[in-house]
Amino acid sequence: MIQNCSGMHYGKVCIGIVIVLILLTIGGFAYLRFGPVPVAVSDRAFPFEKRIVRIAVRARINRQTQNLPFAASEDLFESGATIYQHQCSMCHGIPGHDAPLFKQMFPAPPQLWKKHGAKGVVGVSDDDPGFSYWVVSNGIRLSGMPSFSHTLSDKERWEVSLLVKNADKQMSPEVARILNSRVVY
Ligand code: HEC
């Protein structure tokens, strides 16, 4: 059993631990100050960087997810599409087109109308709208994802979240027209 540092035997172990801690602190600081820390968009990511951040973000959102406060309707999709076109498409793309900023950011903004992964899920259509609502409201720190809680109303944030939830469905011609209405790429 480990007692305290004053015992003959444990004294050396304790000094060893303290020295290792000091070296780790100096090494960590030297790496931040002089090392090749990946800070540019084109730098290689740390091993497991994406996965580690994702676990923390998902855990937080899952604790705070709310339920959609109204039922889906064509009107909601149309206003969601207008908001999406103005506030989101430059990063998250539109059906058939990647966003202009897609390759210019780290982490890259997921293309919300595109299939990804082995199961071919379209964007965030496999997430609850409450999950996307949290992301749209709060943003994701240290990524390019802004918080829209001061620029969009609560209803607008739900509308755009509902739209991206349904990105895997056939949209009405009007919704498709709105999404494609200002294509600059
Ligand atoms: C300036 C670029 C930018 C804008 C504008 C933007 N986003 Fe994002 N968004 C991002 C980035 C980058 C991420 C990825 C964050 C990460 O991986 O940690 C993201 C993540 C997301 C996610 C989570 C995706 C996932 O896989 O879990 C959702 C949902 C989302 N954005 C929706 C929207 C909606 C809706 C709008 C418009 C109201 C919007 N975003 C506007 C850059 C942007």
Pocket of ligand 1 (CB under 6 A): 87-88, 90-92, 101, 105, 107, 109-110, 124, 132, 135-136, 140, 143-146, 148, 160, 164
* Residue 75 CA, ligand 1 centroid: distance in Å: 23
Pocket test for ligand 1, best of 53, 83, 92 (most atoms within 8 A of CB): 92
Cβ contact 80:129 at 8 Å: no
d(CA 161, CA 164): 5
d(CA 123, CA 115): 6
- Contact (CB, 8 A) for 148 and 157: yes
Q: How many CB atoms lie within 10 A of CB 38?
A: 13
pLDDT tens across the length of the chain (185 residues) = 455 666 667 888 999 999 999 999 999 999 999 988 889 999 998 889 889 999 999 999 999 999 999 888 999 999 999 999 999 999 999 999 999 899 899 999 999 999 999 999 999 999 999 999 999 999 999 999 999 999 999 999 999 999 999 999 999 999 999 999 875 54
pLDDT at 93: 95
179, 78 contact by CB (below 8 A): no
How many Cα atoms occupy the beta-carbon half-sphere of 153 within 13 Å? 5
